[in-house]
Structure 1
Amino acid sequence: MNAQYITIDDQKTPQQLIEDVLVNSTCAAVTNITGIGDTYTPGKKSFAYFNSGTSNFPFKEGIILSTSTSTEGIGPYFSNEGGGSENWVGDNDLNQILGISSVNATSFEFDFVPLTDFLSFNYIFASNEYQYFYPCEYSDGFAFLIKEAGTADPYKNLAVLPNTNTPVSSLNVRPKIEPGTAPNGDKYPGCSEVNIDYFNGLNNNTSPINYAGQTIVMTAQTDVVAGKKYHIKLVIADDKNRYYDSAVFLQAGSFASKIDFGPNKTTANDDPLCFGDSYLLDPKLSPAYSYKWFKDNVEVATTPTYTVTQTGNYKVEVTLTPSSCSLEGEIKIDIAPEILFTNTTLVQCDDNADGTTIFNLNKVNNIVKNNNAAILNEGYYESQANAENKINKIANPESYTNKTANQIIYARLENEFGCFKISQVTLQIANNSITNPNPISTCDGDEIQDGLYQFDLNAEVTPKITAGLPNGLTVFYYTTANDAVTETNALPNIFKNTSAFNQTIYARVINGPDCYGIIPVNLVVNTFDPPNFEDESAIICKNDQITLSVATGFSSYLWNNGETTNSILINVPGDYSVTVTDMNGCEKTKKFKIILSEPAAITEAVVKDFSGNDNSVLIQYNGVGNYEFSLDGEVFQNEPLFQNVLPGIYNAIARDKNGCGLSNSFVVYVLDYPRFFTPNGDGFNDLWFIQNSNILPDYTIQIFDRYGKFIKQMNQNSSGWNGLFNGQQLPSDDYWFTLLFADGRNVKGHFSLKR
């Protein structure tokens, strides 16, 4: 049942544990072995031998050093406070090296003479302080101390994180601690993980040891001097109080002199062997010893040293003849991929033919490294030696001025591991011949003829430059020759000249990264602004014709109806235009809007009469002209509505303002009744009647006095009322009438009789 946990035997002496368990080798000689630990628990020790049995504990066997009774380390794990004796003291060396106040210390000390220049052993730190918030604030201390024996030299601590001086502890190696509640009921905030890669995990009720958590397998190691005697001290203790104990487990047989070839030279360590290089493996031992070299477990040599040129796992076994002592060393070596490169030539143009010009070395960045994105271009250099030593790098490779003709520049190419190759870049000056094109002209197509207009450089200029040149050339444009050389401030393809009428720009013809040639290009903007070319409108009378024309003397004419003369005769209204061209091929368009006009046709007159001063006439008509109207043929007005019209007969007429003639004449009758009459026999205004009533439809008029008494009835055949009723003259007064038409229309009013 207990096979899943470690077993502990605490009956062995310190000498047995050091000689037979920790060292256990004919290659090592240890002397002056002592051990101190718990002497206050009867029959128990704080140091012991352990065996993993069938558990999954990483070490098969070894030594445990504890801050309490060692047998309490047997699994499974259950949370407990633990604690040794309050009379069990700490260790001053540990206090000094870690800066703690230790209690309950356990330590082993011995002298050791290494056979090589390297010493190491493996261990695991376990602690019950991996509970609650304790790793955030507390940690027991342990150290593996070494110094030259018999000296007052200070100790060096080997129980540190790799490549640091940070001691291994539950403070320095811990998981993330979540907020929670301590056993005493206090809340704690938790803390973040620290060096989590070295933490193996928390334990539970199936774990092989009885500690809350533990590190991964760690290695204590140091450089030493072969043959020199060293004093070793392995010590662990509680810090400040004796509760929540810790232990360190030392792997059996791991304490020994070893052959050290240094860290693995692998891609995982960012330190593989560069392609084409070799690496000497030298144990630095006597050539009289017996050597066996292995590559991937296959023996490959028996020489005192071995030169590596291939990827593999390498191992050496050295027997220190004539003894049977055997030492080992191993290392893994990867070979970085080969850096492929290309020597190339960069061609640049010389704008003044002095043999020197400005090169942009960055143009060949990808060419020299065969377009491999994984390779870094670590700069350009003026000599091979500078490139190899990575000194005096060209500061501004984008604008480098060559020193001599066909000068060679050296590019240093590195992979991610620092391996490098040197590529050569030859700087040449182009000597190609390009014929300067004739001036490239265009017309100012803006409304404002200021000599500024845009050019489509690719469409209008490039074909004229590349005609007759090799295929595949590309052209870019610049405002100055220097810009063309340095490839700065390139012009956009749609370029509007900045100097009116005439401007010289520079074309840079390139072939890939190389300059093929630089030539000036003259851009000309012609203006064309003939007078009297504003848009016009004109009137054409119905069934008439007119002439549209522009000035003579232009190179060509084109009307939108296809005519090609300077004038055309038209008889149809509409939109017309003519485009004229001058000797430079510049065009100007004039537009004509021809509007139809015609005499009006009066169709009706809407008359409002019997209204006194409110009498009106509204003339209704057809026609597309611009008209004015008259009731008498003499006085015309713009509106067809006439107001305050006196009774009478009128001949309405409309006249076209555009001169296209008069309308038909339309007779209009405006009727009204008299507002008074004076029947006094003087022959003037003696009768009351409606003038022109004979043109009205059938009607009857009934006249009443002011009291509504019926007085007189008349029709269109009556001559009028003379003011008599039954032969008697009626007095001066107001009288009322009702005019009733046969069509149902009814007009009522009143008038005055005056005597």
Structure 2
Amino acid sequence: MNMRGYTIPMTASATVVPNNNYRIKLAIGDYNDNLFDSAVFLEAGSFNVGLADLYYYAGLDTTTEDMTVETGYAACSGTVREINTGLDPNYYNFVWYQDGAIITSETGPSIMVSEPGQYCVEASNVSGASCIQSDCILVEFLEGPEVNPTPGNYVVCDDGTGTYTYNFLDHLSEIIGTPNYMDYYFSTYFYLSQQDAIDDIQIPATYTTNVSPLTVYVKVEDFNFSCPSYTSFVAEVQNCAVITPTQPSDLYLCDLDGDGVESFDLTQQDATVLGSYTPASDYTITYHTTQAGADDGTIDLATPFNAYLNTSNPQTIYVRLEENATGDYGTTTFELNVLGVPSIVITDPSAVCSPNTVDITDPSVTAGSSNTGTFDYWEDAAATIAVSDPTAIDVSGTYYISTTVGSCSDIQPVEVTINPTPSLVITDPASVCSPTTIDITDPAVTAGSTLGGTLSYWEDAAGTIAVSDPTAIDVSGTYYIMSSLGSCSDIQPVVVTINATPSLVITDPASVCSPNTVDITDPAVTSGSTNLGTFSYWEDAAATVAVSDPTAIDISGTYYIMNAQGSCSDIQPVEVTINPTPSLVITDPASVCSPTTIDITDPAVTAGSTLGGTLSYWEDAAGTIAVSDPTAIDVSGTYYIMSSLGSCSDIQPVVVTINATPSLVITDPASVCSPNTVDITDPAVTSGSTNLGLSVIGKMQQQR
């Protein structure tokens, strides 16, 4: 519904008188149009003539929240708080409830509360109308520290001066108990009246006065509590006797019939009470059930001193020691205790494995026992030989536990079982080289072990993963052997070492021709080998004769290469082939005159050569251009003869010398007339000749 998009809250009020009828007239007018509607909405509950809404003061302000610890408004115990309705009692009647029960004494608009609970009010109109308003509030109070609500009287001795000095701190054990605990957490304050305690008007803890008896009020604060606690006691002065009896020990008897009553001989305390007072005949000792009876000497025991039947358990007995001549006396106390007969219930401790020990002082051993005191531990049933250390027994057997309470005791046997534990002694097996395996079940591995339990073999120290085959382990590592004997076992590590064995792969080196040598240390020879360590080279398979120089072997044969890795090795043969190389010896052929030729295949040319290879003839030292006809060489020069034997050869030069032959062309000199002469050295005579050398002129005679 959109009334032009806005709504204006308005408040109307008027003074009314209860139980009278009133009418409200509302006039609504449209705003500047006749198309859109206007409306008035009445807020639910807005016709309010007053509601019962309980509140109380929290400091200077009021609050309607519950008066609880959770809200932070809980008051200290003993505090009185007012809860108010805020309604006019002239118009309302009030009925108050505490935890659902009507509080008949409360009929006003407020109530004072000092107890926890849920407080509710019903407010109805005095006119009798049926409209009833109600509200509730939960009230909690904070407790203070625990104190004794009725501490005993605090008594000091009269010193005859007429004034008395009380030290109230001496009475703290009666007020709050455990003074040491108090020292850390408590503060204690003393007052002469309850109102003084509320107003915090203190008196000192050491207080001098002439008043006796004096009622003292105490406020105790604890740092752990938000609120204090209060109590009171009476301080008084008594005429303390000069007689000081010795306080005897408490008496104990066993309750044999279970009724809590036994016959005590109180007179057995006489000697202790008398102490150093002598002679005994000058003093009278009497026993009483109250301090007052001891002070005035009234005998109030119902049965004789030497056969007194206790009336409560425990019961305090008051003793009076009086000097016969003067009437001076002193008092002391002790307790009578009727104890249940001790009953020890024994649960034998679980068996353990040596070297573990058993603690028979463990509470579980005597769980279920009743009426017990301190336990003692013995090796014999007569309780004459004490166990030296009952917390760590290391020998199986029957031991005894006893307890004594007063004159009552019980002793019971306890069985201690300490099973022997096997003791493994492990000798790690010798390391091997793969692929050899190790057998850890070999008796030598556990030689020296004791108690001979059943052996099992494991991969882990917890003994959860079994070794699949302990007789043939092929992986190095730490394994575990367990020896089990009954429920006891010992597990010890065993170290298995399987060294990797080198694996040699040999590629024989290529053959060579002498005088070349072979290097068997060349990595190519062992390429592809694995797990390599150190190489060594041998002439025999047993590796007893080392190769003198494995980098330059000059004799064909089988050699051996070894590779060692720790204690592991592999040895393999290697074949060395050194082929013999022919050795040519060349004798150059005699020179000839052209046109004569030279035959370099003539055996005389290679006479003295060795190994007799196949000969071939070449124009170059590389042996690439063959001589066309080595039997008829007609050109001087250096040629080459090769001797080949298998893949080996020798090539050597051979010098061929073919001298040129002169060719004379003669032109006879012209004739002369004598006595002229003819000069036949004249170059014209030999002009046209070739390959000329030294000319020799002679006369050829013609024979006729």
TM-score by length of 2: 0.29
Q: Which has the higher contact order (CA 8 A, sep 6+)?
A: 1
Larger radius of gyration: 2
Q: Normalising to structure 1: TM-score of the pair?
A: 0.28
**Structure showing the higher strand proportion among its residues:** 1
